[in-house]
Structure 1
Amino acid sequence: MTDRTALSLDQEAPARPSRSLWATAFLRLKRNTLAMISLAVLIFYILAGIIGPEITNHHYAEVYPEFVKVPASLEGYPKSDEIPALAESALARARLDLGQITVDGGTIRVEASSSREIDPRVTRYLDRSDLFANSRIAETSADGQSVVMEADVERLHFYFGTDANGRDLLARTLISVRVSLMIGALATSVALLIGVLYGATAGFVGGRVDNFMMRVVDVLYSLPFIFFVILLVVFFGRNVVLMFIAVGAVEWLDMARIVRGQTLSLKNREFVQAAEALGVRSAGILRRHIIPNTLGPVIIYMTLLIPKVILLESFLSFLGLGVQEPLTSLGVLISEGAKNMRGDAYMLFFPAATLTLLLFALNFLGDGLRDALDPKDR
């Protein structure tokens, strides 16, 4: 009776599918609210960097001489009370006596007179300005010495304000996010490639080879990093892509040490010994068994290396050794904002807040991945 009951219970119990290591880690990551919020913020930054500069109304290098250092505002520029003065400035060289100037919605009316007949082409002075378009003569007196000109007012929106050269700060912030993320991903990829291969080889081969390879790492650690930066700038010039590929080639030292330590603990495991007994070559063991099992700590360190590289880029750009004009990065914008901090604090606030939020998201995501992939918590 008991055996039949147990058998029936075994038959009725549904088979639970086994989860892989990465599926389990993802479920643990989903329970971490802060890490998931950080992941959403990071995805938003990536999308903003990719499509943001393309959908804004301004190019990041376009200069508006009439709007230098205008503060951030949801209202379009020029403001209604500023339009008459700007129209007078645009018509200053027309040699006309200006009368009443009125603004009706998006249209401006300018009354003008002269001691001689007015050439209808005088409206070109308004068209030459970036503020007015479709200028025309609405009314003309019988003697042609008085006219009423009309023009459409081109309203521009600067939601983050403009910089010291009259460029839209929002467009420049979006392009700087793209540049900073690209540099962080590029340098981190190079460091990942070199560090993983170097550390896994040193840890798996062991012996004198391991000792020699790690002494090379110690020697590179002892050299001042800024010395390498100066050499890279001299050698690669102002090519920012090549320079940060070289920066990634220097940042691999920590990655190599982490992977070596993981490899030393993995090479004596049963599955590695079984592969050796079956005659699998060392390169195959590294590629199929050692490196895949070190990806957990590597991914965690990678999420911490990206903000480190972004901060490094910001530091170099702050010193004038990084991204050059007209291209920009968050470090360049922060450097420019620091120079104008007293009178125009918005120029520092927006890029600094953007960089701070990005670094927080990357660090919180790294902490979440560490908790999800930590073998002690499984």
Structure 2
Amino acid sequence: MAEGFALHTTDVEATLGRSLWADARARLFRNKAAVASMVALLLITIACIVGPEITGHRFDQVYTDYSRTPASLTAYPRDEDIAPAIERIGSRVRGRPESISISGDLVRVVLVGQRPIDERGLAYFDRSDLFGPARVVERADEGRRLTVEVPIERNYFFFGTDTNGRDLLTRTLFAGRISLSIGLLATLVALVIGVVYGATSGYLGGRVDMVMMRIVDILYSLPFIFFVIMLVVFFGRNFILMFLAVGAVEWLDMARIVRGQTLSIKRQEYVQAAEALGVETRGIIRRHVIPNTLGPVVVFMTLLVPKVILLESFLSFLGLGVQEPWSSWGVLIADGAKNIQGATFMLIYPSLFLVVTLLALNFIGDGLRDALDPRDR
């Protein structure tokens, strides 16, 4: 009796099988490059979301004493940088540093002046990015000789700083939020509009197809920059404008790709069988046409995300996109290119994040194309 029940259960499980989406998921996870790329992209996304909150620096915080500071795993300031900084501050308070002794995060300075030193000038230590508030521990020679203890403010700049003295690691991670959000959301807008428009045009065919594609041709003839400028004039400079501007233009290529796929799909036997069974046009497009166009659509989408990121960088360069103090990878790369001779690190780190993201998207696109190809089902 138990053997018969076990045999019956096995037959039921064998009969149920797996859905097409389950098969596609299994093929995708067998692709090691795609899985590694998904992990890398996930780590970059998490780092961009969480990183700016734990680096210890605000993305717009300016350190005037650390302009174009090289990347380092050790804390700033270095011991050799402390004496020159104290000499500069001493010249402001009219007190020559006679002796400087460093003990951990505390520096002891003896200032000597020709006239009594105004202790209010010691506030220059606190205004510096290297030191904290100074404390007078000894006065001599009627105030012309002061012994001062000053705490050292240690800061880590793992990616260095930019020309304004802002932490490059924080700005790179914060810029990743902008670039990824614009790339993904604008691509999503183009995906939804382009897939629905192209599938409808290709399936209906005839005069409807001709009119819909002539509308696409007309929109192709409009200059992209002119379109963006008009949006800025009417709606003002807005972060959401980037999604509308890029998404409203990039769906044209998506529509043409989907239309070409639909023209071949609608001649397949399963589509003709659905028409013979009386399935509505909307149901055929939603259940048969669109799912079978996902292979090339996903590949194009993974190429569209980096294209959108580059477009955003171009618009920001023209003053129509992301504005200070916000930033994006494209803006950081443009700034790094201007300072490539004296501060190569300003170009390397944002470029590395962008390159890894683009490679991950390309490998994910290849994996999804292979997994969603209906010929492999």
| Structure 1 residues 372 and 284: CA distance shift in structure 2, 3 A | closer
Find the counterpart in structure 2 of residue 291 from structure 1: 290
Instruction: State the 1:180 CA deviation.
Output: 0.6
2: CA distance between counterparts of 1:291 and 1:12? Answer: 36
For the residue of structure 1 that corresponds to 2:66, the secondary structure is: coil
Find the counterpart in structure 2 of residue 138 from structure 1: 137
2: CA distance between counterparts of 1:171 and 1:375? Answer: 44
Instruction: State the 1:298 CA deviation.
Output: 2.9
| Structure 1 residues 125 and 342: CA distance shift in structure 2, 3 A | closer
1: CA distance between counterparts of 2:153 and 2:321? Answer: 36
Instruction: State the 1:145 CA deviation.
Output: 4.5
Instruction: State the 1:284 CA deviation.
Output: 4.5
Specify the code of the residue in structure 2 equivalent to 1:217. Answer: V
Write out per-residue CA displacement over residues 183-211 of structure 1, whole angstroms, 9 at most, x where no aligned residue: 10121111112112211221232221111
Q: 2:186·2:243 contact (CA, 8 Å) conserved in 1?
A: yes
Query: Superposition pairs for residues 1-378 of structure 1, below 5 Å?
Result: 15-16=13-14, 17-114=16-113, 121=120, 123-141=122-140, 145-267=144-266, 281-378=280-377
For the residue of structure 2 that corresponds to 1:334, the secondary structure is: helix
Instruction: State the 1:232 CA deviation.
Output: 4.1
Specify the code of the residue in structure 2 equivalent to 1:71. Answer: P
2: CA distance between counterparts of 1:377 and 1:280? Answer: 26
Write out per-residue CA displacement over residues 109-161 of structure 1, whole angstroms, 9 at most, x where no aligned residue: 01123466656655433222222124212233485543311121001111111
2: CA distance between counterparts of 1:144 and 1:336? Answer: 48
Q: Which stretch of the first structure deviates more once superposed, 268-277 or 22-31?
A: 268-277
Specify the code of the residue in structure 1 equivalent to 2:44. Answer: Y
Alignment coverage as a number of residue pairs: 372
Give the unaligned 5+ runs of structure 2: none
Q: 1:304·1:363 contact (CA, 8 Å) conserved in 2?
A: yes
Find the counterpart in structure 2 of residue 4 from structure 1: none
Q: Which stretch of the first structure deviates more once superposed, 126-135 or 335-344?
A: 126-135
1: CA distance between counterparts of 2:324 and 2:229? Answer: 19
| Structure 1 residues 225 and 113: CA distance shift in structure 2, 3 A | closer
1: CA distance between counterparts of 2:101 and 2:128? Answer: 18
Instruction: State the 1:320 CA deviation.
Output: 4.3
For the residue of structure 2 that corresponds to 1:76, the secondary structure is: coil
Two-structure CA RMSD over aligned residues (Å): 2.8
TM-score (norm 2): 0.88
| Structure 1 residues 11 and 207: CA distance shift in structure 2, 3 A | same
Find the counterpart in structure 2 of residue 3 from structure 1: none
Give the unaligned 5+ runs of structure 1: 1-6
Q: 1:318·1:334 contact (CA, 8 Å) conserved in 2?
A: no
2: CA distance between counterparts of 1:143 and 1:250? Answer: 75
Q: Which stretch of the first structure deviates more once superposed, 319-328 or 241-250?
A: 319-328
Instruction: State the 1:66 CA deviation.
Output: 0.6
